[in-house]
Chains A and B, each alone.
Chain A
Amino acid sequence: MASSFSRILSSKRNVGILSLVGGSVAAGFLLHREQVTAGEPLRRRYPASAEYPDLRKHNNCMASNLTPAIYAKLCDKTTPNGYTLDQAIQTGVDNPGHPFIKTVGMVAGDEESYEVFADLLDPVIKERHNGYDPNTMKHPTDLDSSKLHSGNFDERYVLSSRVRTGRSIRGLSLPPACTRAERREVERVVVDALAGLKGDLAGRYYSLTQMTEKEQQQLIDDHFLFDKPVSPLLTCAGMARDWPDARGIWHNNEKTFLIWVNEEDHTRVISMEKGGNMKRVFERFCKGLKEVERLIQERGWEFMWNERLGYVLTCPSNLGTGLRAGVHVKLPLLAKDSRFSKILDNLRLQKRGTGGVDTAAVGGVFDISNLDRLGQSEVQLVQTVVDGVNYLIECEKRLEKGQDIKSGPA
């Protein structure tokens, strides 16, 4: 039994009309939380106290914020599509976390999860995103790449530049909860739209189920191919179901703009190139995203977005911009300096090894990217990376000359 909300969404023509009126903003208004009705409540056999998970050995954002009272309030609620609290938190129950690394510990199964389970997701978002309160704050979206300045790095230090984000297709459930038909529909909508890209963005789709051995090898050599998730953080949330059905990779002919379909999000969009021209990477990123958005809107679809949470993605850590802008940069001297971590903190940057998250740096080469996702715009975050990396290179140059460095820019 669909709520009136689902009926509006499942009618693509109506969404198209709303897009003409005002695009994401108008549809975003529809998702104001008072107007989202939950689905049918669950009939449960046991009281909430008998079902409450044992989180005593856990260290993740969900475990820190899920009180017995919140669990009792939400445990019989469902989203209009039938997604439950127990499903949303399963990954956090199954993965207690690490004493030093705090994972998020929950996911959204659909756009409405962020409303129906707001009593838990709001504090989780607040904790993860430095106090951002979805009830009172607005998230700025800004994809005007012309505002970025000084985005050309010294290529003696910066080996490559990359910006990634995710986008979800409104009206279809997210990877933890989608059915096979929904996932195939995501693939269809996205691939159809991408076929409309032209010029330097023109490219091709490689479906995981149908690619040839040769295509597979080429994608591996280009470092484009993604694997079936093995991380229990993802598998316990149900994101690897039905693999590799409706999963694939699209990239432009120049191999500088790449889209993953149906991995951890409906789409992951990546702009990258060798060298230090972050300005051009960001320009292509913004242009590509806006083109894809225009193409799906022509067909009556749109991205999940609202003014409180920005772009809506599977993991609460990726809300807002969902943006990670980064470089591979050589900082061998700075890496050995005891102030390195503090400097990064002050710059609102994080370091990873060159294999990505949870890998180690090799040969003094680090993956440096923005820490924040929500509460600042795309332009602001990429500017932060540009300014920060320029400062880090400054520090490295000073250390090369035997000069001293400061923990933060003046």
Chain B
Amino acid sequence: CLKAIMPFGNTHNNFKLNYKVEEEFPDLSKHNNHMAKALTKEIYGKLRDKQTPSGYTLDDVIQTGVDNPGHPFIMTVGCVAGDEESYEVFKDLLDPIISDRHGGYKSTDKHKTDLNFENLKGGDDLDPNYVLSSRVRTGRSIKGYTLPPHNSRGERRAIEKLAVEALTSLDGEFKGKYYPLKSMTDAEQEQLISDHFLFDKPVSPLLTCAGMARDWPDARGIWHNDSKSFLVWVNEEDHLRVISMQKGGNMREVFRRFCVGLQKIEEIFKKHNHGFMWNEHLGYILTCPSNLGTGLRGGVHVKLPKLSTHAKFEEILTRLRLQKRGTGGVDTASVGGVFDISNADRLGSSEVEQVQLVVDGVKLMVEMEKKLEKGEAIDSMIPAQK
């Protein structure tokens, strides 16, 4: 049946079919991103007359990758989804990108979802002298709505309304409040900034070229619980970004709250006939293909001044399936030997498995740091590839 289409995006899709593939194909000669690597003229020719039911086109998918050639060292994804169906309609392009980005994940592979926090072993005893804070985040998309690159104001507002209804019905440790970006008071804004909760209008061209900042700050907001340990961003880069965090090294507790909170929220959305976008091949469906699967980044801020200058630091991280960032998040530098260490994988392993890698890996690295402090060697501790 004919569905409504979103009125923003690369319209002209039918008009441009008057031109040949060669005339429309983007110049990717200076590009270094997953999209540029995967997009051939053949694939472009095959997919360019297709649309998802909401009217999202191939040119919409790739615009951010055309506009942002990338970096010689950092390989960005270079494409986004506009709705759940994008991953189907444009699979000839997205499957190879997903495979390249997610360690060879095949189009026939199945993704395991495990949000049972009791399956996590340990995680409550990371040394707080080294592990300053612990955090787990993921994203969720609400089934039946188009995604941030594509949705109209009406759609985005409907998402906000449903999200706020669901979140404000939570109680107990999850009782909290929603702060819409466009109507928060100065005092509320100040408080959210000092809590490090407030998110800004995206400035990164990776996001703006994909249309995710349109109509800012309409229908965007932040919800958090009274104890400030569970936080949800509404309509930033995904419908929902869900964050559980606290000071210190009790990752187990952070993960428990994460799983319980997510499941409570999901129940409420299901009652409204709008569960989360999920399928057994790609797991949770999010805007950026890099966040498919669990969409989970579980990490700590940890003091590793000696280990971080060790020659084998990068190799240790790779073998542990972990990545490092500065304490400002992605694309920042570390300050005072404190690093943000988190899981590198998203798709092909479960939430429990990924958080387990963080817990075990960080524990090992703290022990290595202690050894180095005593002037001892750590070569025997270097693990095999996980």
- Chain A positions near chain B (C-beta within 8 angstroms): 1-2, 6, 10, 42-47, 50-54, 75, 78, 81-87, 90, 93-94, 173, 177, 179-182, 184-185, 209, 235-236, 240-243, 245
Contact A82 B11 (CB under 8 A): yes
A6 to B14 alpha-carbon distance, docked (Å):
13
B5 at the interface (CB under 8 A from A): yes
Alpha-carbon separation in the docked complex, A173 to B11 (Å): 12
Picked from A47, A177, A185, the residue with its CB within 8 Å of the CB of B12 is A177
The answer to whether B11 touches A84 (Cβ under 8 A) is yes
Given A75-B7, A94-B214, A179-B19, is A53 in contact with B24 using a C-beta cutoff of 8 Å?
no
The residue of chain B having its C-beta at the shortest distance from the C-beta of A6 within the complex is: B15
21 A-B Cβ contacts within 8 A?
A42-B7, A45-B4, A45-B152, A50-B153, A51-B154, A53-B218, A75-B7, A82-B11, A82-B14, A83-B11, A84-B7, A84-B11, A87-B7, A87-B8, A94-B216, A173-B12, A177-B12, A179-B12, A179-B16, A180-B24, A242-B26
Residues of chain B with a CB closer than 8 A to A185's CB: 23
List the one stretch of B59-67, B92-100, B118-126, B168-176 in contact with chain A.
Answer: B59-67
Interface size on B, residues (CB 8 A): 40
Within 8 A of A (CB), among B13-67: 13-16, 18-20, 23-27, 59, 63, 66-67
Judge whether B154 and A82 touch: CB under 8 Å. no
Instruction: Evaluate contact between B7 and A44: CB separation under 8 angstroms.
Output: yes
Min CB gap B205→A, angstroms? 8
Provide the residues of chain A in CB contact with B12, threshold 8 Å: 81-83, 173, 177, 179
Chain B's closest residue to A78 (CB) is: B11
The residues of B that contact A181 with a CB separation of less than 8 Å are 16, 19-20, 23-24
The answer to whether the Cβ of B377 comes within 8 Å of any Cβ in the partner chain is no
- Chain B, interface SS category: loop
Shortest Cβ distance from A80 into B: residue = B15
Are A242 and B14 in touch, CB under 8 angstroms? Answer: no
Q: Does B266 contact A (CB under 8 A)?
A: no
Hey, which chain B residues are within 8 Å of A87, CB to CB? 7-8, 11
Task: Show the binding face of B for A, using Cβ within 8 Å.
Answer: 2-8, 10-16, 18-20, 23-27, 59, 63, 66-67, 152-155, 157-158, 182, 208-209, 213-216, 218
Assuming the contacts A46-B152, A181-B16, asked whether A53 and B215 have C-beta atoms less than 8 A apart, the reply is: yes
CB-contact partner of A241 in B3, B5, B67, under 8 A: B67
> How many contacts A-B (CB < 8 Å)?
108
Task: Tell me whether A81 and B218 are in contact (CB under 8 A).
Answer: no
In angstroms, Cα B67 to Cα A94, docked, is: 19
CB distance from B185 to the nearest CB of A (A): 15
Q: Which chain B residue lies CB-closest to A42? A: B7
In the bound complex, how far is the Cα of B6 from the Cα of A43, in angstroms? 8
Contacts of B4 in A (CB 8 A): 42-45
Q: Nearest chain-B residue to A82 (Cβ)?
A: B11
Beta-carbon contact of A45 and B154 below 8 Å? yes
CA distance A89 to B12 in the complex (A): 17
CB closest chain-A residue, reference B18? A10
Q: Is the CB of A84 within 8 A of B14?
A: no
Residue of A nearest to B25 (CB): A180
Taking CB atoms, residues of chain B closer than 8 Å to A54 are 182, 218
Given the known interface contacts A44-B7, A51-B154, the answer about A93 and B14 at a Cβ–Cβ threshold of 8 Å is: no
**A82 to B27, Cβ gap below 8 A?**
no
Assess whether B155 is in contact with A45, with CB atoms less than 8 Å apart: yes
User: For residue A82, which residues in chain B have a CB less than 8 angstroms away from its CB?
Assistant: 11-15
Question: With A82-B15, A181-B23 as given contacts, are A50 and B7 in contact (CB-CB < 8 Å)?
Answer: no
Neighbour of A242 across the interface among B13, B19, B67, B153, CB < 8 A: B67
Determine if B152 and A86 form an interchain contact, defined as CB atoms under 8 angstroms apart.
Answer: yes
Q: A82-B12, A236-B214, A241-B66 are in contact. List 4 more A-B contacts (CB 8 A).
A: A6-B15, A43-B3, A54-B182, A179-B15
B158 A46 Cβ-Cβ under 8 A = yes
Given A82-B13, A82-B14, also A245-B7 (CB < 8 A): no
The answer for the CA separation of A42 and B158 in the assembled complex, in Å, is: 19
For the complex, what is the distance from the CA of A110 to the CA of B2, rounded to whole Å? 27
* Distance in angstroms between the alpha carbons of A83 and B12 in the assembled complex: 7
Could you tell me the distance between the alpha carbons of A78 and B13 in the complex, rounded to whole angstroms? 13
| Shortest distance from the beta carbon of A184 to any chain B beta carbon, whole Å | 7
Given contacts A240-B67, A245-B26, contact A42 B218 (CB under 8 A): no
* Residues of B contacting A180 in the complex (Cβ-Cβ under 8 angstroms): 23-26
Q: Are A243 and B59 in contact (CB under 8 A)?
A: no
Whether A86 lies near B7 (C-beta < 8 A) is: yes
A37 to chain B, nearest CB (A): 15
The residue among B6, B15, B23, B157 with the most chain A CB atoms within 10 A of its own CB is: B15
User: Within the complex, what minimum Cβ distance (angstroms) separates A1 from chain B?
Assistant: 7
Closest Cβ of chain B: how far from A15's Cβ, in Å? Answer: 16
Q: Nearest-CB distance from A408 to chain B (Å)? A: 44
A51 with B153: CB separation less than 8 A: yes
In the bound complex, do residue A245 and residue B27 qualify as a contact, i.e. CB atoms below 8 Å apart? Answer: yes
Contact B154 A90 (CB under 8 A): no
Q: Which of A1, A52, A54, A90 has the most CB of B within 10 A?
A: A54
Alpha-carbon distance A43/B7, docked complex (angstroms): 9
Shortest CB-to-CB span from A339 to chain B, Å, is 40
Is there an interface contact between A84 and B8, defined as CB atoms closer than 8 Å?
yes
The residue on B at minimum CB distance from A96 is B216
Report B-chain residues with C-beta under 8 Å of the C-beta of A44.
Answer: 4-5, 7, 152, 154
User: Are A179 and B24 closer than 8 Å at their CB atoms?
Assistant: yes
Q: What residues of B have a CB within 8 angstroms of the CB of A90 in the complex?
A: 8, 214-215
Let me know if A177 and B11 touch, CB within 8 A.
yes
Q: Which residues of B contact A78 (CB under 8 A)?
A: 11
Least CB distance, B284 to chain A, in whole angstroms: 23
Structural contact, B7 and A179, CB atoms closer than 8 A:
no
Q: Min CB distance, A301 to chain B, in Å?
A: 16
Q: Which residue of B lies closest to A243 (CB)?
A: B67
A139 to B163, CA, bound (A): 52
Chain B contacts for A177, CB-based, 8 A: 11-12
**What chain B residues lie within 8 Å of A47 (beta carbons)?**
154
Query: What is the bound-complex CA distance between A51 and B14, given in angstroms?
Result: 25
Among residues of B, the one whose C-beta sits closest to the C-beta of A232 is B208
CB distance from A101 to the nearest CB of B (A): 20
CA distance A51 to B23 in the complex (A): 35
Contact of A2 among B15, B63, B182 (CB under 8 A): B15
Residues of chain B within 8 A of A83, CB atoms compared: 11-12
> For the complex, what is the distance from the CA of A37 to the CA of B73, rounded to whole Å?
50
Find chain A residues with CB under 8 A from B3 CB: 43, 45
Complex: how many Å from CA A44 to CA B8?
Answer: 11
Q: Which of B59, B66, B154: most chain A CB closer than 10 A?
A: B154
Closest residue of chain A to B205 (Cβ to Cβ) is A235
The one of B6, B10, B13, B153 that contacts A53, using a Cβ cutoff of 8 Å: B153
Q: How far is the CA of A46 from the CA of B151 in the complex (A)?
A: 11
A45 CB to closest chain B CB, in angstroms?
Answer: 4
